[in-house]
Chains A and B, each alone.
Chain A
């Protein structure tokens, strides 16, 4: 195996680098204006005047060195394989960054008149059409800032639609036990009670168990397809019918849409509402934990319920429409995460219809290949043993040792590769959730599988030792992080 050592700068906190008399950027000042306002601070009412702000004082180079050193202590997609299950850590094309740096993107103000922003609005209009076609929905709102916000918008629409159609008493949302935590959290934010739907031994939600849980209280169901076990939900159409028969609406969590591009569409499975994580499927950088974008799409009957604004095309060109008759309202201050939307648009244009279908084909192929390359005795599948995987594979770490999955995860880091998602989904014992994506070359998949198999051998023989060893710090003391808790420094 290749050797890896992460940079380990003993980098102080930024305030510890401060020394009076330094500055890292000069602010423009106009002499004539300055001469008119000798003491600008006196323009602030006396009761609210601030004497000074406690900020560090550093030169430009010092600030750059500090953050550049920190960056070297951060693992990323462009350094190595990052198969965090459910997060779709694919490669983000550089050209998107270049284009998003254009003046016409960076310096556009969300309140400028539509006629002065036609370039961007035309792109958003096309993106909205593309997403509708990809998912089989009628219309999208691009305004929601992240997957979780798209989910919230989705369940709020379900709530409002039902209230307008005699379903005000429907206060239950069905959520499978394999679902992401955001699903029950979003449903609860929208005022719903969460009814848990059990998965069977094949990791499948059965239409029969859904039908049994449905009642006149059912508002709808949030469903992730393929599910978080990486398995396609074979009865999705029947599940949709059961919920619809009971008077509820179907919500599609698009977290795993990377598996289905050009193969199947939520609209054809009976879903009424869909959110997409553009940062996952459509390759916008994850930013170390944001920003993302989570547009939400609906069928025709829900189109007037979308969060505002939506992009419209009229006789005078493109515009932002804030006047949807039944809209749940806005969830964000302005248009949406526009610079993220632009990157997703570019990604779709780079790949096109055939390329997007190749993406799902090769992502699914990679997941199945990697899964089959793992030692099945070491990493048995918890569910659906004979079934195909879609975009990701979930396995258990076979061990009597508590925390075996975490040990494996920490050990992977020492190979210069990121760990899979661990301990999720919750229904899997000692879970590793591995999503390689279509971006990883075959050789890398081989390396990853070999590393996991090797680690398991050491774990079984009790030779793993303390891991990780090659990262910028050894195992972090998470207990001490909370006792006592230090969330800031006083200096």
Chain B
């Protein structure tokens, strides 16, 4: 075979003649000469030990075959939750986020040529403010956990206080992330107990722990157990009377039927935007929700904010621009509210289009289907011997805990997976439930047959 000239679809100037022409203008004899400023002793001097490149077809065939080894829907049923939930992503959402005009752009630094993304992000902010009952929402952080970490940092900065109260009913991984984020600030994290019967936070314990040195209370609603914190208005009021900020973590889908955090006095709302039209993606990219009660707090928040304005030459023409940039790292450097730079714009676009598609009635009917399906499933599982379903007496939305009289939660989880049902993620021992238990998440994607399959699989797995 002939020794073909080197060509690559990603490298338009690879051809020798083009290289020669460019080198001439650049004033260099060879490409190596362009790198001659790298001292000899730090040059690699050999090829990288990596496989050689392959054609698109070969790579696609191999990688897709490997991905097909993963057991996922549609072949496998997924009833896992915990901060990433199986929900349907409408085709129109995928169509919008697949527009190259959106996904191959970057942060709208030049506002005039980036109005499309700016308006979409502004609409995201506005839709989310309505959903959350807040006055300002940034155009996204990385995910729920990191948003919670940023929120607790912000509360420490705003109040100048050092103690932080974390709901014992909140997710452990999110609490770990809060710890990583806040450790350098010297904040002292304490856990507020929860009621072992109802699964809701213990108001008395909160009262005991509150004091004038508490920066904030972090509480989730619904909480990690899926239980709706029906006393949350009192919790928030108690925190406020002690001068602490309330940070509420939410699953936005629950807000179809459950009151918005703004209605019960939350100062900062964080949460996971993934169920708003974003695939589970094995953990990311997702969407960190971050919103605050008023403009004053907005001045201390991290992340990009988009404001409504007009064109300078034509005041009748609406336009959008990034605002409050003086909070951000590219201007304020070490005095910035956060180091966050790139965020999750494309995910915010997904959420904006998702909320627009479902709309007022669709979103409500989604909530109704989810809460009905989860209650139907909890009831179905309660018919199995040796199972308490739901484990807690508190009201719940789409997730619930199931406890087992005899079986080990870890073993049940793995046996279910072998039967093609991903469900029953074990509740960590550190929650102190006193019994073996797993969590189950049921949404609109689960049919009655799916729930029956789950019930049958759990019966066999015990």
Contacts and interface: CB of A to CB of B under 8 A. Distances in A.
Interface string A48-90: 1110111111101001101111111111111100101001010
A449 to B, nearest CB: 10
A375 interface: no
A466 interface: yes
A45 B63 contact: no
A118 B69 CA distance: 7
Interface in B312-343: 312-315, 317, 319-321, 323-324, 328-336, 338-343
A489 B136 CA distance: 10
- Most chain A CB within a 10 A radius of its CB, from B52, B100, B366: B100
Nearest to B416: A113
Interface stretch (A103-111, A394-402, A455-463): A103-111
Given A45-B395, A329-B179, A349-B63, A387 B37 contact: yes
A403 interface: no
Interface string A459-491: 000000010100111111110111001111100
Interface string B273-285: 0000001111111
B110 interface: yes
A262 B44 contact: yes
A407 interface: no
B142 A332 contact: yes
28 contacts: A15-B126, A24-B357, A36-B372, A37-B368, A37-B371, A41-B371, A48-B232, A68-B96, A73-B119, A108-B281, A113-B413, A113-B414, A268-B43, A290-B107, A329-B176, A331-B177, A333-B143, A333-B177, A353-B51, A364-B31, A365-B26, A368-B22, A387-B37, A388-B28, A388-B37, A418-B113, A442-B12, A442-B21
Given A71-B101, A332-B146, A333-B177, A130 B130 contact: no
B356 A156 contact: no
B180 interface: yes
Contacts of B107: 286, 288-290
A488 B317 CA distance: 17
B372 A354 contact: no
Contact of A438 (B11, B183, B280): B11
Given A119-B67, A120-B282, A289-B346, 13 more contacts: A13-B122, A14-B127, A24-B357, A30-B373, A55-B356, A60-B92, A110-B280, A148-B329, A182-B330, A332-B142, A333-B174, A355-B11, A365-B26
Q: How large is the interface on B (under 10, 10 to 19, 20 to 34, 35 or more residues)?
A: 35 or more
B191 to A, nearest CB: 16
B68 interface: yes
B66 A123 contact: yes
B5 interface: no
A237 to B, nearest CB: 5
B116 to A, nearest CB: 3
Nearest to A471: B112
- Most chain A CB within a 10 A radius of its CB, from B74, B88, B105, B317: B105
Contacts of B22: 365-366, 368-369, 442
Contacts of B59: 95, 346, 349-350
Contact of B329 (A181, A291, A340, A413): A181
A78 B444 CA distance: 36
Contact of B284 (A76, A261, A334): A334
B341 A487 contact: no
A77 B101 CA distance: 8
A104 B67 contact: yes
A168 interface: no
B127 A55 contact: yes
Contacts of A466: 313
Contacts of A482: 307, 323-324
B313 A487 contact: no
Interface stretch (A186-194, A205-213, A243-251, A295-303): A186-194
Contacts of A345: 63
B417 interface: yes
Nearest to A80: B113
A387 B27 CA distance: 11
Nearest to B397: A44
A224 interface: no
Interface in B256-315: 256-260, 263-264, 272, 279-286, 295, 298, 304-315
Interface in B1-41: 6, 8-14, 18-19, 21-23, 25-28, 31, 33-39, 41
A441 B359 CA distance: 44
A63 B357 contact: yes
A421 B110 CA distance: 9
Contacts of B49: 133, 353
B69 A337 contact: no
Nearest to B140: A290
- Most chain A CB within a 10 A radius of its CB, from B8, B56, B284, B349: B284
Nearest to A37: B372
A105 B341 CA distance: 26
Contacts of B352: 14
Given A189-B339, A349-B53, A288 B349 contact: yes
Interface stretch (B78-86, B159-167, B209-217, B429-437): B78-86
Contacts of B25: 369, 372-373
Given A36-B376, A189-B338, A289 B343 contact: yes
Contacts of A102: 64, 67-68
B362 interface: yes
Nearest to B362: A23
B307 A487 contact: yes
A478 B321 CA distance: 6
A11 B119 contact: yes
- Most chain A CB within a 10 A radius of its CB, from B37, B113, B295, B353: B113
A30 B447 contact: yes
B296 to A, nearest CB: 11
A330 B180 contact: yes
Contact of B66 (A6, A48, A122, A369): A122
Given A102-B68, A122-B66, A285-B103, A14 B21 contact: no
Given A37-B375, A75-B113, A14 B255 contact: no
A24 B92 contact: yes
Contacts of B158: none
Contact of A111 (B38, B186, B425): B425
A274 interface: no
B41 A237 contact: yes
B48 A50 contact: no
Interface string A288-318: 1111100000000000000100000000000
Nearest to B395: A45
B50 A74 contact: no
Contacts of B50: 130, 133-134, 348, 352-353, 356
Contacts of B425: 111
